[in-house]
């Protein structure tokens, strides 16, 4: 009895307890790489790892929007991130037209679209008290409809500006540039979430809205802002996506929605809100990309990818969410 | 004294009008009138049969979804499980061997029960938030469906057409054919679902589903096996989806892994229009049927307004948001007015 208490109070145990989920995620990645090396040869090379990280960066960035929304609590998720990004990419393609001087215009449009989408999502969920999943799913439908209407009579023309190409697709020596963007983005977000008043308010609202309300926090406004931030980030990712692909097409962002949520869950972020560790989300994204690489190498294709993602998400939900709510 | 009784009469009328059921029926009547004005032969038997065929899948999915929502859950995997069931049907059946049709139905029924059990275990026993649990399982079903049918296709036995149109099947006696022109098989499927729910709602478990939905904790404290009730709700939902899958394979003679995707959201919206509270525990499954009818008629009216095909997704998304937000606001205000009225009377 005594020894177990002292064991729980020891520093090593505390550190272990705090970073348990990060360690699990990290071990899972290593396990997948070893498994890949055994089954498919030439899986574990530096080039392969860097390529995986580059592809995982997009999942991680989408995971960032998702994490901010999830942290605001009330079991919110944003299912419209994929089509928000697609819409930005499709709309800004013809505006940029491959010229750097038009980039500021594209960025302004991206921010405007992101704010608009996030505002509608946020108002409907926080002020009208509608379930976030239904609202954002319907929003995804609406955005898809807008894209369909826009592209109905014409081709999607235009190219990304060269700066975006350099940022998203090219690499400096061996490191892909998107990695630096991810690191800068992660740093900014971590500072905002952990060192500013707003971040504290966000986590407070997420973990216990009554307490937050009684401490004088405008709960509805904070939730609304979380959705707006999610929308803006998703919209800006749309610019990076078109920078990476070189062209815009109808379904470029919709495949990232499930991985972004799965990455957040694997990263150990509680889906009931109130916490958020972006490092975990990045690890989760890398894990998912490695898994998808492995399944592609095995020749299982699309079906295997969705089956793998879905099963994994379900199992992790059982492990992380299920046991905590035992009666 | 006289004044008082008069006020009571008016407030009773007000109460009646403010009941959600009343507004739903009125909405249905308005939609029917508009549709009848726009389409000249709306009430002819042929077009009634055609309309029932067009609306049946959404009605079935909505009723299933309504059961889950009443039990306090939400099923985002309804669309993909429908796709999976059609894929299973089309994979098991061989065109030249009529017996395989029976095997296919049995196997698909087992798969449907399995889908319900898995969703039920996740939502009920493991207590994962229902929306996220069914979101995760929806991708499992999608993956399996893509394994079976990477592209739409598959085979179907000839007599399976009887789930869509009896007179298409070769070698059917004449009286059955005439019966089929008046009573479409889709209607029989819907009635089947209604009967199953009618029997279920009379049992103890059926009552438990409402209790769990309205307050899970107090239901648990009263000794109700909440997890089992939620699991039963999920299995009933899977049964409704199974009926819809029979209809689709009868219609298309093939399986499609992407068939059900747009139906998930429409079914949720239709249930909300039919007065099912998303918070659970309130509403009637039969009114969900009316909600599905209203939503289908709205699409029909839009179709008559000659909107180009590209606008379809956009319009349906907007309708869903307006329908959900509108019915939420309506329930909010009618509840408040009712409370006010009661206070005045006492």
CB contact under 8 A, A134 and B133: no
The whole-number pLDDT of residue B179 equals 79
Query: What are the tens digits of pLDDT across the range B102-150?
Result: 999 999 999 999 999 999 999 988 888 888 899 899 999 999 999 998 8
* Mean pLDDT to the nearest integer, A14-31: 81
CB contact under 8 A, A138 and B315: no
- Of residues B2 and A184, more confidently modeled: A184
Q: Which of A141, A309, A321 sits opposite B128 (nearest CB)?
A: A321
As beta bridge partners, residue B153 has: B255
- Under 8 Å between Cβ of B214 and B281: yes
Q: Which of B129, B265, B313 sits opposite A75 (nearest CB)?
A: B129
Lowest mean pLDDT among B93-107, B121-135, B298-312: B298-312
Report which DSSP code applies to A171: E
Residue B115 to residue B121: CA distance in whole angstroms? 10
* Mean pLDDT to the nearest integer, A89-111: 88
pLDDT band at B343 (very low <50, low <70, confident <90, very high): low
Q: Which residues in chain A are contacts of B323 at CB distance < 8 A?
A: none
Residue B134 to residue B75: CA distance in whole angstroms? 6
> Given CB atoms, is B268 within the 8 Å cutoff of chain A?
yes
> Per residue in B166-181, is it b (16+ CB within 10 Å) or e — as a string?
beebeebeeeeeeebe
> Given CB atoms, is B85 within the 8 Å cutoff of chain A?
no
* Mean pLDDT to the nearest integer, A302-313: 88
Residues 6+ apart with CB under 8 A from B134: B73, B74, B75, B76, B77, B119, B122, B123
The structure tokens listed for A54 are 């580059």
- Of residues B87 and A23, more confidently modeled: B87
The whole-number pLDDT of residue B20 equals 67
pLDDT band at A168 (very low <50, low <70, confident <90, very high): confident
CB contact under 8 A, B122 and A302: no
pLDDT band at A162 (very low <50, low <70, confident <90, very high): confident
The whole-number pLDDT of residue A236 equals 92
Above 80 in pLDDT, residue B6? no
- Under 8 Å between Cβ of B314 and B327: no
Query: What are the tens digits of pLDDT across the range A213-253?
Result: 999 999 999 999 999 999 999 999 999 999 888 888 888 88
Above 70 in pLDDT, residue B265? yes
Instruction: Give the whole-number percent of chain B exceeding pLDDT 90.
Output: 32
Q: Which of B136, B265, B328 sits opposite A138 (nearest CB)?
A: B265
> Per residue in B6-24, is it b (16+ CB within 10 Å) or e — as a string?
eeeeebeeebeebebeebb
Complex ipTM:
0.83
The number of CA neighbours under 13 Å toward the Cβ of B292 is 27
The whole-number pLDDT of residue B169 equals 75
CB contact under 8 A, B321 and A138: yes
pLDDT band at B334 (very low <50, low <70, confident <90, very high): low
**Which residue does chain B place closest to A78, by CA atoms?**
B132
- Under 8 Å between Cβ of A115 and A179: no
Above 90 in pLDDT, residue A61? yes
The whole-number pLDDT of residue B345 equals 47
* Mean pLDDT to the nearest integer, A6-11: 66
pLDDT band at A1 (very low <50, low <70, confident <90, very high): very low
The whole-number pLDDT of residue B43 equals 83
């Amino acid at each position: 009895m005594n020894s177990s208490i002292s064991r729980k109070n020891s520093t090593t145990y505390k550190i272990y307890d705090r970073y348990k989920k990060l360690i699990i995620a990290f071990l899972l990645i290593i396990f997948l790489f070893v498994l890949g090396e055994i089954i498919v040869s030439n899986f574990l090379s530096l080039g392969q790892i860097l390529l995986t990280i580059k592809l995982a960066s997009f999942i991680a960035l989408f995971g960032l929007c998702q994490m901010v929304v999830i942290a605001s609590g009330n079991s919110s998720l944003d299912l419209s991130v994929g089509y928000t990004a697609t819409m930005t990419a499709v709309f800004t393609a013809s505006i940029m037209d491959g010229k750097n001087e038009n980039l500021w215009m594209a960025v302004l449009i991206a921010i405007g679209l992101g704010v608009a989408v996030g505002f509608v999502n946020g108002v409907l969920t926080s002020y009208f008290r509608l379930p976030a999943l239904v609202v954002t799913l319907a929003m995804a439908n609406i955005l898809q409809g807008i894209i369909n209407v826009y592209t109905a009579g014409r081709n999607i023309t235009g190219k990304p500006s060269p700066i975006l190409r350099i940022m998203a697709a090219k690499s400096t020596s061996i490191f892909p540039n998107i990695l630096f963007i991810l690191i800068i983005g992660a740093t900014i977000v971590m500072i905002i979430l952990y060192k500013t008043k707003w971040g504290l308010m966000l986590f407070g609202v997420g973990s216990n809205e009554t307490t937050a309300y009684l401490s004088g926090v405008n709960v509805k406004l904070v939730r609304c802002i979380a959705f707006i931030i999610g929308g803006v980030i998703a919209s800006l990712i749309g610019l990076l996506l078109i920078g990476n692909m070189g062209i815009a097409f109808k379904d470029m962002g919709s495949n990232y929605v499930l991985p972004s949520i799965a990455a957040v869950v694997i990263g150990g972020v509680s889906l009931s809100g109130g916490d958020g560790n972006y490092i975990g989300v990045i690890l989760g994204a890398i894990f998912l990309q490695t898994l998808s690489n492995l399944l592609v190498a095995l020749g299982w294709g699309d079906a295997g990818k969705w089956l793998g993602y879905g099963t994994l998400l379900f199992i992790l939900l059982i492990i992380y969410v299920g046991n905590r709510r035992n009666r | 004294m006289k004044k008082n009784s008069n006020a009571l009469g008016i407030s009773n009328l007000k109460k009646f009008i403010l009941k959600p059921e009343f507004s739903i029926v009125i909405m249905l009547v308005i939609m029917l009138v508009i549709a009848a004005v726009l389409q000249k032969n709306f009430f002819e038997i042929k077009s009634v049969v055609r309309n029932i065929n067009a609306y049946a899948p959404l009605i079935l999915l909505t009723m299933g979804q309504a059961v889950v929502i009443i039990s306090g859950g939400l099923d985002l995997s309804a669309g993909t499980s429908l796709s999976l069931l059609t894929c299973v049907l089309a994979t098991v059946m061989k065109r030249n061997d009529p017996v395989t049709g029976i095997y296919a139905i049995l196997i698909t029924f087992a798969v449907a029960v399995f889908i319900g059990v898995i969703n039920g275990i996740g939502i009920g026993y493991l207590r994962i938030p229902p929306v996220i649990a069914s979101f995760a399982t929806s991708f499992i079903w999608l993956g399996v469906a893509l394994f079976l049918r990477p592209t739409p296709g598959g085979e179907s036995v000839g007599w399976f057409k009887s789930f869509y149109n009896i007179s298409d099947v070769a070698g059917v006696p004449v009286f059955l054919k005439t019966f089929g022109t008046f009573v479409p098989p889709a209607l029989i499927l819907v009635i089947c679902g209604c009967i199953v729910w009618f029997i279920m709602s009379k049992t103890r478990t059926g009552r438990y589903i409402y209790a769990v939905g309205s307050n899970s904790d107090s239901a648990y404290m009263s000794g109700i096996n909440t997890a089992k009730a939620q699991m039963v709700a999920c299995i009933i939902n899977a049964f409704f989806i199974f009926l819809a899958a029979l209809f689709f394979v009868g219609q298309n003679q093939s399986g499609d892994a992407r068939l059900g995707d747009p139906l998930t959201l429409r079914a949720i919206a239709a249930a909300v229009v039919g007065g099912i509270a998303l918070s659970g525990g309130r509403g009637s499954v039969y009114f969900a049927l009316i909600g599905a009818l209203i939503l289908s008629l709205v699409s029909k009216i839009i179709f008559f307004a000659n909107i180009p095909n590209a606008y379809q997704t956009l319009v349906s998304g907007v309708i869903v948001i307006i329908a959900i937000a509108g019915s939420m606001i309506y329930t909010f205000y009618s509840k408040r007015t009712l409370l006010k009225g009661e206070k005045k009377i006492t």
